[in-house]
A and B are shown apart, each in its own frame.
Chain A
């Protein structure tokens, strides 16, 4: 176990450049506080899953929060990294500028690789200004209507920054210019949430502290096209990302969940469960598995970085 928390601190931050560079052990909360002071944010709204979350962990895990469908994922905001590969070589890829196509885009490629390819030492992230206005609305709707509505709104230039549907209630967050939020709220309708209540709600969805996530049943994450028809499994469901992310608390067998996700055009990850011996991640096609093995060898020939963390084979 290599604890990276000692390697902490923001190395560079220029709000007018929209770029922040931080060491891997920097607490995510500390970085976010700094950005708030300058009216900016990590637009992918990463989950923390506890007070100890670090910047390096955030990028390595590659997890994005409620804003993902409208603004982008972690990898979309990674501009550069400094890493140690499995041989202990210190390497730099990408940089601190918005546009950079020199060499393969290794910095983005490493986002979400779970530390199995390299140890992130430092990351440079694109940041965005916080929206001037935000409003959340609540509408009663069944699953089919909610999916239909979210996809219909997605075709219109509305400032939707998050959606969540569970148990017959759809919550929609609007973020942007005052005028745009006002106009969109009038169009969408529903009951407005008080500012505090809205903030608590989206935080609970992001951090999985919402009551939906409680209970012993395994938590599955199904990433599917937003237009995929309702998925029928035994258990409870929470839909995010305009229909593109479907959380299931279900005891259904892994094979059934994976088959349902595949039929919908996506894949399933066993996100939280007491028993993960069947593997958390969706199996890869033989061609992709071969490439994964080859790339693992490029970065970590001895196989010492997180062996078996993503797939038992490498």
Chain B
């Protein structure tokens, strides 16, 4: 795949271990293959590589020294949170130190009056809401992996969740970050006030996929937990009708707390797995949630029901109590593992499209299912246009993996073509790096590289991820072409 894969050099490994052992306790350093093997991949299991060394620092001082040491020795560093990422952002390299932030698991401060929590990056997303619950507060972004994923990883990926149309992404809910640059220089971005002087470096750092800074502390906003929430489950006999119903809800001036769609194959897989009470005969189901005060929820639910009925829903069910609401959501939250049960492997895509293009894109995916002979159920964060087609395949069949990758590439490029993006919330990582060449032109990519150099002049922090080299794009042969002129005609093309 393009750039040469570096190999593990035993002599270099000894040298790096010796340098890190000078200040790290024995338990904080792994390098024997049986110890490093568990770190060979993140949530994108199709890509694997053994790290040269795994470092598990416990203090900020240790993080700083690891970075200074690696900078001095020119050793790349790959930061890692819980390893639940779906784009290979934490994929190790045999020539690099894998920097696991797993031991940074303390909630340093929770100030209910100021509605903030100051946490270490290894704290799990859900653990923040659990800690805040006794004050009636919670941390809003809720990616499906929230029981396992960490806030540090959320910051790296700018994670979303099922409630982000109303409550925003990670970037909207983080007030401040502390950490280090690759050179080991301390850096503090944002503050507990609502803004900070100078450029908005916080916006740049969040979603930077571990390429700009290593984060050691995150200050998040906590919100008062809505008193009540109810969800409407609606069935449609046609996927496009369901898509139009979504537009109708938004056009009616409603911003639902959550608005999710699943097609029939996804609904059936989820229903078989968790028995959420889904209508498995529907072509698609919508889950539309209202939250707020009990009065507000009643008002909004009535409006949502009216709009969905008008948009042709064939069946409407409103959750009667909290248990039923959670049951309706359980199927959606378990959609990925549910699909995992009906196929040896699945490949999850993450394009975002303008909502009105949903029908066109789903039809396109249906054609690709025939073209590649692979099934592809769809779950859709319909409120914000974020589509997760799940291609079912068998990783033990290299030919099937190859077809899967081509299928995925075509879907992502279609997302760009209809005015969307190749990744809504999972990040580019190694997985979608070639599609970056389709989404961006050479000058934007050059700007990204220049931004990277401003933070990390040696290019040692998580290299090779998120932003492709221009040479790689030339090789991929799908360079974004503006005005018919190929950028960098001097580069060889294959």
Interface residues of A (CB under 8 A from B): 14-19, 39-40, 62, 68-69, 72-73, 75-76, 85, 89-93, 95-106, 108-109, 111-113, 117, 128-130, 132, 151-152, 154-159, 176-180, 182-184, 223-227, 241, 244-245, 265-267, 269, 281-285, 287-288, 291-292, 294-295, 297-299, 310-311
Contacts and interface: CB of A to CB of B under 8 A. Distances in A.
Given A95-B421, A223-B193, A104 B169 contact: no
Interface string B159-202: 01000110011011000000000000111110111111111110
B226 interface: yes
Contact of A97 (B292, B298, B419, B428): B419
B253 interface: yes
Contacts of A267: 191, 193, 196-197
Contact of B439 (A102, A108, A130, A157): A102
Contact of B295 (A154, A180, A295): A180
Contacts of A102: 421-423, 428, 432, 436, 439-440
Given A103-B444, A227-B114, A298 B451 contact: yes
Contacts of A103: 428, 436, 439-440, 444, 448, 466-467
A111 B116 CA distance: 24
Contacts of B224: 154-158
Given A108-B203, A223-B194, A266-B191, A97 B420 contact: yes
A177 B356 contact: no
Question: Interface size class for chain B?
Answer: 35 or more
B342 interface: no
Contacts of B300: 177
Contacts of A311: 198
A104 B448 contact: yes
25 contacts: A16-B355, A17-B354, A17-B355, A75-B200, A92-B440, A96-B354, A98-B385, A99-B421, A99-B425, A101-B426, A101-B427, A103-B448, A106-B447, A111-B203, A155-B112, A155-B115, A177-B299, A179-B296, A180-B295, A223-B194, A223-B195, A225-B116, A245-B194, A267-B197, A292-B198
Contacts of B164: 98-99
B455 A291 contact: yes
A287 B185 contact: yes
A267 to B, nearest CB: 5
Given A96-B419, A157-B227, A180-B299, 15 more contacts: A15-B250, A97-B421, A99-B384, A100-B424, A101-B425, A103-B428, A105-B158, A108-B200, A128-B255, A157-B224, A157-B293, A225-B116, A284-B198, A287-B188, A310-B198
B17 interface: no
Contacts, number: 258
Contacts of B447: 85, 91, 106, 298-299
B251 interface: yes
A155 B136 contact: yes
A97 B426 contact: no
B186 A287 contact: yes
Interface in B236-274: 247-248, 250-251, 253-255
B204 interface: yes
A90 B440 CA distance: 12
Interface in B444-466: 444, 447-448, 450-451, 453-455, 466
